[in-house]
Chains A and B, each alone.
Chain A
Amino acid sequence: MEAIILQILNGLDKGSAYALIALGLTLIFGTLGVVNFAHGALFMIGAFCAVTLQRLLGLSHQIVDETRKDFLGNPLKIDVPYMHEWFGPEIGQSIIEWSVPLAILFSIPIMAFIGIAMERGLVKHFYKRPHADQILVTFGLAIVLQEIIKYFYGANPIPTPAPPAFTGSFDFGALVGFDANTIIYPYWRLIYFSFSMIVIAGVFAFLQFTTFGMVVRAGMADRETVGLLGINIDKRFTIMFAIAACVAGLAGVMYAPINSPNYHMGMDFLVLSFVVVVVGGMGSLPGAVLAGFLLGIVESFASMTQILDIFPGINQIIIYLIAIIILLTRPRGLMGRKGVMEE
């Protein structure tokens, strides 16, 4: 029992990342009808927003401390971060340590800008072209984006620690009445899960309860009619693209402490996220979220040693295997609608 709960918990954080990326992919697909292969790159850029902010906050300058000497007797040079100077050592230090959560605020304008620039500058010209062309051009864009990041940040993963308050683990088992030390779970993963739930709920609430969201949903159902009613649906869809980019970016920002960001993390997640979208059902938002968590948890179960003893290597292929089975038995995915991508 404990093992099962532990695996579910382990699957949640990866599942959250899948769900967030798949949600953004589905938003773009549902509104604009574009298959965005550059979405993984947006996730990666989000993670590098966290890296950038961490570096910016950590900027320091050298001052010479006359009171302390190094071993040669020269005055010691020490690096003093600007944050320490401006806010005092304690507050300054905690600002530096909290750079990842702060990067949420930092990344939203950046991701929104990238999203709008991408839609207006590139994707807009591909609405009338075949899906294969859309896949190819966004695939090219993904290569370009990740190479730019590689040029500036290098090819190695960059460790981006979470705030020290969240670095530890806690005993989830003791909390819900099992024996102590059976279910240990890191704080940050729990935070990642809660954060992604908030983002997902926010996106759904935005679509469900605001006038803007209502218009967007109407536009998803019948773009032409909404346009004929005198609503500038293109502008709203551009904003939805920006929101989807922000969702991917936020998923990336918060994922940075779990997995040190490197330039190809986007591609790694992209392939899986597409599988998630297809399993969930192309164009279905709840399907994307559901499939994201489901596949995350299934993957985590497949990594259990008991299961690996029976089916060696199953954890590597389980997601693809499920995707193949689902696509062949339920061609529209778990919650797919009729008439999406069936031409």
Chain B
Amino acid sequence: MTEQATNTPIAKPKAPPSIVASTGFLGLNRKDATLLALVVVLTMLAPFILNPFPEGSGMAQFNAGYPDLMQRFVIFGIFAIGFNILFGLTGYLSFGHAAFLGVGSYAAIWMMKLVTLNIIPAIILSIIFAGLFALLVGFICLRRSGIYFSILTLAFAQMSYALAYSVLTPITGGETGLQIKATDRPILSGLEPGEIGRANFFGIDMRTSYELSLGDWLFTFNAGYYIAAVVMLLSFYLSIRIFRSPFGMMLRAVKSNQQRMSYTGLNSKPYTLAAFVISGMYAGLAGGLMVAMDTQVGPERMFWTASGEVVLMAILGGVGTLIGPVLGAGMIKYMENIISKINETILHQWFAFLPDGLEDFVVSMIYPFIGKGWHLTLGIVFMLVVIFLPGGLVEGGQKIAGLFRRKAKTDDTPSKTPAE
């Protein structure tokens, strides 16, 4: 490595076209603008897209277009986008990201309990708190790299969990967590006596929904979902800009060869720390939004399995890609909600066309993977992705697209590098 560095003069990296041509729509090049537009359309039309089956039909349970689940899609999307800025760009695998989500959640709920029920100050406060906490944790953890970094972040997250669970009970509510109660009188809310406060956005209740009935189909448009979706789109746009910026380039340099970067006289610490804090602020934003949607928080949000979940999301979708983490988050949350709903009776209905003995056999083969066993499915899918598709679903999609493209024109297509 060292020899290489001395023998070849370090070529000035050519600025990628994306940086040069950052004058297009909102400072994005055409490819990114298309991607952003696609995501905008998909999130805005999600209530339609996620409800493809008519109400009351046998397939209706696969509809994901209800507010609670859609909110979770976009909120965990934000969480995963933030995680991806750290892991995807710098290669630092944090196993304690849920701590920032938890800190953000607690900050938001206190804001709503004490000051105002409007979600905007709560979310801003949650971002600030998560960012400060990430600054502290990152400053310490980033002194080590590789597996040591993972263990340190894990240790911090577990410590926060243990503290939230026990000693900090006056602040965190311990095991039961915090909710907005009838006794809470936020100063700026003007609640009637006895009225339980509800999260709102300048007067719009998060739970307001407009239901549109078209034939057999029922579509729900929820205020909370659209607010979360707009926030998600903003953070997605920001993440594109970070990916394409010189700062993002620096972070990639940290990932590919930190040693060489430091030989060129650059201190990588400020860059990685900035990435860590940004990523923590994304997590805090997700935590604040979660509170805005369901107005409650508990310490289990900081448990290390929650940190593991966001790792799964990013890997499953495609780490280091722009859209991957959002896809992964959506996929895992969809699986969690839909697969865990299928039970034995439904399976029997599906396979009723088979002869009896075969039907029972097929059902008993599938049964462990559904219902309560959805974690098993998740584990298997995740392992398969890590083994065969290290680039996640995005790489899978590119490979399939590549197959078709090669058929279309047979002349040599340069092997595409996985998406950045």
Contacts and interface: CB of A to CB of B under 8 A. Distances in A.
A278 B151 contact: yes
Given A133-B386, A139-B308, A324-B140, A316 B165 contact: yes
B136 to A, nearest CB: 12
A278 B147 CA distance: 9
Main SS at interface, chain A: helix
Interface string B120-158: 000000000000000000001001101110111011101
A169 B315 CA distance: 49
B292 interface: no
B375 interface: yes
B76 interface: no
A203 interface: no
A275 B168 CA distance: 23
Contacts of B270: none
A324 B151 CA distance: 9
Interface stretch (B4-12, B217-225, B245-253, B376-384): B376-384
A137 to B, nearest CB: 5
Contacts of B380: 140, 144
Interface residues of B, number: 39
Contact of A147 (B151, B162, B376, B386): B376
Contacts of B311: 136, 139
Contact of A135 (B147, B152, B304, B305): B147
Interface residues of A, number: 39
B33 to A, nearest CB: 31
A317 B167 CA distance: 10
Contacts of A147: 373, 375-376, 379
Contacts of B382: 136, 140, 143
Nearest to B158: A320
Interface in A306-330: 312-313, 316-317, 320-321, 323-324, 327-328
A327 B375 contact: no
B379 A136 contact: no
A140 B166 CA distance: 30
Given A132-B91, A282-B147, A141 B379 contact: yes
A66 interface: no
B146 A317 contact: no
B196 interface: no
B163 A327 contact: no
A316 B168 CA distance: 12
B40 interface: no
B93 interface: yes
A274 interface: yes
A202 interface: no
Given A151-B368, A278-B148, A323-B151, A328 B387 contact: no
B312 to A, nearest CB: 8
A147 B378 CA distance: 10
Contacts of A125: 387
A275 B146 CA distance: 14
A324 B155 contact: yes
B140 A274 contact: no
A148 interface: yes
Contacts of A122: 387
Contacts of A323: 151-152, 155
A122 B384 CA distance: 11
Point out which of A147, A267, A275 has the most chain B C-beta atoms below 10 A from its C-beta.
A147
B383 A140 contact: yes
Given A131-B147, A140-B383, A313 B163 contact: yes
Given A278-B151, A324-B152, A328-B143, A144 B379 contact: yes
Contacts of B155: 275, 320, 323-324
A331 interface: yes
B379 A151 contact: no
B390 interface: yes
Point out which of A267, A282, A317, A321 has the most chain B C-beta atoms below 10 A from its C-beta.
A317
A143 B379 contact: yes
A139 B140 CA distance: 25
Nearest to B150: A135
Interface in A266-308: 267, 271, 274-275, 278, 282
19 contacts: A35-B147, A129-B390, A131-B147, A135-B147, A136-B382, A137-B387, A140-B380, A140-B382, A140-B383, A143-B378, A143-B382, A147-B376, A271-B154, A275-B154, A282-B147, A313-B162, A316-B167, A323-B155, A327-B144
Interface of A: 35, 122, 125, 129, 131-133, 135-137, 139-144, 147-148, 151, 267, 271, 274-275, 278, 282, 312-313, 316-317, 320-321, 323-324, 327-328, 331, 341-343
Interface of B: 91, 93, 140, 143-144, 146-148, 150-152, 154-156, 158-159, 162-163, 165-168, 304-305, 308, 311, 315, 368, 373, 375-376, 378-380, 382-383, 386-387, 390
Given A137-B387, A140-B379, A331-B144, 19 more contacts: A125-B387, A132-B93, A135-B150, A137-B386, A139-B308, A140-B380, A140-B382, A142-B379, A143-B375, A143-B382, A144-B376, A147-B375, A271-B304, A274-B151, A275-B154, A320-B155, A324-B140, A327-B152, A331-B143
| Interchain residue pairs A-B with the least CB separation, the first 5 | A313-B167, A143-B379, A316-B162, A147-B376, A140-B383
